[in-house]
Structure 1
Amino acid sequence: MSRTDQADHATLVEEVRVVRRAGLLRLRELRLPALQALAEARAGEAARGRHPVEAMLREAVSALGGGSLQSAAEYTFGLTPGTRDWAPADRRSRAAQEYGVSVERFRKHHEVVIFGEVVDGLLGAAQEPAGLPLPVPAARPGDPRPGVRRRAARPDVPPSHRTLRVRVAGRHRAVVLHVHCVSLLRDVDAVVSPVNTHFVLPAAYKSSVAAMLRQAAARLSPSGDVLADPVHDELVRWTADRGLDGRAARPGTVAVTGTGALAGQGVRLLLHAAVAVPRRGTNDYDVHPDDVTRAVTQVFACLAEERPRHQPPLRSVALPLLGAGRGGLAPGESLRALWAAVEAETARDPRWAVHLVVRDHDNADLVERMLTGHVSPPPTALPRPGASW
C-alpha cells in the first residue's frame, strides 16, 4: 500500500468512525468528503432512496460474509432493523455481545477491526466499474446465506428451551438452556441467585434475578399482599449468625436458603452468590469475573454438602449469567467466568444436571454459539426440565 493509499485508508477509517458516533439519522449533517467522493464515484448504484453513503456502507457490511463480524458491524452502524435510532453507546454495547466481550475490549480491538474491514471493502469496490454491487464471499456448504443471519428466520414465538450438546472432559453432555424469566423454572432442584456482598435483596417489585426469585418465593394473600417473605428473612438470619450485620462478605461467598413458595414448582434450594460489590457513593456495582468463578465453585461445594440431606438427592442446578445485569459484565464475560467452574465441577462429578437461564434469544444465541460453536435451528420438541447430563 502506497503512502497515498495509506492516507486514503486512514481518512476513510476516521470518517467511518464519525458515522458510527453520529448515527445514520444524522448522516446529512456530517461532512464526509472521502466517503462522499467514493459514493459519487459509484453513482450508478441504486441507493433505494437512502443517503448514498448509507447505501455504500450497507453494501460493504453485507459483503463481510456473515458471522460475528458482520452482525457486530450491523449493530455498530445501526444497520440492524430497529437499531437505526439507537444511541451510539447502546449500539456498541450490543455489538460487543456478538463477540462475548466487554464494551471496552470491543472498542479497543473488535471495533477497530470492523472499521478496517469495512474500509477495505469500500476501497475494493472503488476499483469495480460503477453500478456493480460489492462482491459477496461465496458461502460454504451449510453456512447461512451471506448477509442473512440465521436468527432472522426465527419463528414469531421461538421455543423457550434448548438442549445444547457441550463437550466436557472429553464427553458430550447435555445442558438445558432456558430462555425465560428465572421465576418460571420448574423441577430444577437448586437455583443460583446473584446478590451483593451485603446479602441485601432488592425490592421484590424490581426486575433483577434476585428480585424475581424473592417475589416468586413470597407467600401472598388472594389479593396479592405479601404475607411472608421467607427468602429475605432467612438471609437476614444467615448474615446475623455469621456476624455480618452491616459488613460485606468476601466476594464469592454463597448463602443457602429455602425456596418458600417456589417449592411448589419443584425448586428445593436457593443459593445466593455474592458477586456484586457496591461502588462507594453510587448506586452501581462492580463484578469481577474471578469472583463469579469462585462463587460458582462454592455453589457446587454447597450442593455437595446439601445433597445427602435431601430425598431424593439433589441432582440439578440452574445458573443465570451472574453479573451481566447491573454488575456490568458483558454476557460473554459472565459465561466464560461461570463456565470455567461449571466445567471443572461437572468433570469431577458428572451426576450434576446443569441448566442455564437467560431472558432473551439474543443472549441465548450467544450462549449457544460460545458453548457449541453454532446456533441450532429451533428444536421440534421441548426437553424435560429436569433432564440430566
Structure 2
Amino acid sequence: MRRVWELMAGLALVAGGCGSAAAQDAAPVTPVAPIAAPHPQTPQEIAKTCRRVGDVASRSGQAQFLRIAPESAARLAEIGLDRAGVFARMAETSIPETVGCWAMPVGNFDSQLISVGMSQWNFGTGSLQPVLKAWRKEFRSGRDYRRAVRALAPVYGKLLFSRDCLKVPVGDKCRAGVLAAHGADGWLNPVLFGELTAIFESDEMLQVQTDHYVALLEAVRLDLLRVFAGQPITMRKVRWAVDTKVQQGFFPADEDLARVRGKLAAMPEAERWDRLRAIFGWYRNLSLTIDQDGVKRDHEWNYEQWNCMIDKGRIDPEQYEMLHLTFIRSRTAVGNSGRWQALTFSRRAKIVLGVGSVSGVRDGSCTAG
C-alpha cells in the first residue's frame, strides 16, 4: 500500500448476508465514541492514543479474541508462522503504513480518496470496499449492523456504506461526499476522521483486518514457494515477501527470476561486488532526483551503511540474491509515476540486510560496529 504517515508527518452494505458463521460467535458491538481530534496531528501524536496492532484483548477484556482458522494456522506453520508470528508480522507491516495503529485514516492526498486500516486499504484501488462489506457480515443481524453504524459513524456512516461507496470504482455521489469532508488543508475533517477511527478500531473490524491479513499471508506462502522454489524459507524471506505483497501486490514473473538468476550464475566473481554497489548507487542517485519522496532523511546514511557491509564482508549469498530481486521489483513501482521507487527499495533492503533507515527510523549499523 502507501507510505501515508510519511506524508502526514510532513504536514504541520449492501450486498451479502448478515448471518455468517463467524458472526454467530461474535459479541455485539461495543460502541466507542468517535474521536473528533483537532487537526493537524502528527502520526506520532495519534499513535499515543490509537488502538495498537497486535494480539490485543477485546473491548470487554477477552484475551486473544481474534480468530485464525485452524486450517490457515496449519498452512502458515509451514513457513514458520505461529499465532505470535502472525501478529508480529502484522504489527511490523503496520509500522510504515499507520505507525502501528489499527485505523489511521487519511484523505485524498494521492488521489485514493480515503485510506484507512493497518494495510491502508483505499477507495482508489478498490481495496477498501471489500473490507467495509466484510465488516457488515460480522454482525448477527441487519439490526445489529445498523445499530453499530449509528453508534460509531452517526454522520458519515450512511455515506461510507452506501451503494455508491461500495462500488468499484466508487460513484460520483460517494466521491463528492468524501471530498466535501476534506478541509482546505487537505485533511479529512475531524468528524469523518473520528468515525473512520471508531469503525476501524472496533472489535469487529479488528477481526476483519486479521482475516484479510491472514489471507495475505497465505497468498505470500504460495509466492514464497514459487519465488524461492527448492530453497529454505527463512524468516528473512517471509518478512521480505510480506512487505512486497503489501506494498506492491505481486512478485517478479518466473521468466524474470530465471533471467536474473542466470545472469548472476554466469557473472565473473570479480564483478560480484561492483554489481551490488551499482544497485546501491542507483538507489542513492534516484533518491537525489526531484520526484522521489519519503527518503530525504535516509538515503545518504543507507548508502554509507550498505557499502560498509560490502567492505566488511557482511552480506551472505541469500542476501545478495534478495537484493537483486528487490532491485528488479522496486524499479517497476509505478505509483504516482514512480515517486516511491527509492523508498520501496529501502524498505525491502532494510529487511534483507537488517541495517537501514526508513522514514528516519534507523536499525542496525555497520560503521559503528
If the length of structure 1 is used for normalisation, what is the TM-score? Answer: 0.25
- Whichever structure has more helix as a proportion of its residues is 2
- Whichever structure has more strand as a proportion of its residues is 1
Greater radius of gyration (CA): 1
